Each structure stands twice: as C-alpha cells, then as structure tokens.
Amino acid sequence: MTSHSRDKDRDASWQVFEALRTAPEPIRRSAREAIEAGNQETFISLVTEYLQTPTSGHSQPRIAPEVLNRVDWDWLAGEFLAGPYPSDVEPPPPNPRP
C-alpha cells in the first residue's frame, strides 16, 4: 500500500528545493556555507526566514508554514550541496524535477 503522506513530504521538500535554487545569490551562498560548516540549524533558519517572507506586492509567504513543516531537511541539504556553487553573476541552471 502506498503512503500518501510520504508523497506530500517529498513534494514539500521539492517545493522548497526549487524555491531555494532560485533564491537570490546571497541567500543561496549563505545557505550553502551553513551546510558546509555542518550547521544545519543555521541552514534551516536561513531558508525558513527567506521562504516565510512575502514577495513584493503580496501578503502571503513564498512557501506556506505547513509546507515547511513537512520538509526533509537532511535530503534538502544534500541535494543543495550536490548542485553547483552559487554564482555571483549567473542565475542557477535549470534542474528539472524527477
């Protein structure tokens, strides 16, 4: 039997991964440096703070708190580290969702 809650967890992690991949360079760089330093708490705080901040002209956060509560942070950190180092001048490359 398939567990639907696990799929929601995976979807939440992918939503956050995609949002983080397209975040401004300073956010991506700080998040990566936190992971590389082994400070997952700082990584989670940086990502959560960024994603709970509304985009300009909107009152809702980028990612809803209930989605953030389902993120697999270990997976997210690993996937984020596996990508290229954030560039100061180039946007992140496209990374299609499997």
Percent of the chain past pLDDT 70, that is, above it, reads 74
User: 83 or 13: whose pLDDT is higher?
Assistant: 13
Q: How far apart are CA 60 and CA 63, in angstroms?
A: 8
Report whether pLDDT(73) > 90.
Answer: yes
Q: Identify the pLDDT of residue 83.
A: 76
Paired tokens of 66: 């209930």
The pTM of this model reads 0.76
- Binned at pLDDT 50, 70 and 90, residue 89 comes out as low
Residue-range domain boundaries for the chain? 4-82
| pLDDT value of position 94 | 53
pLDDT tens column, 18-66 = 999 889 989 999 999 999 999 999 999 999 999 999 888 888 999 999 9
The candidate with the shortest Cα–Cα distance to 22, out of 79, 98, 95, 97, is 95
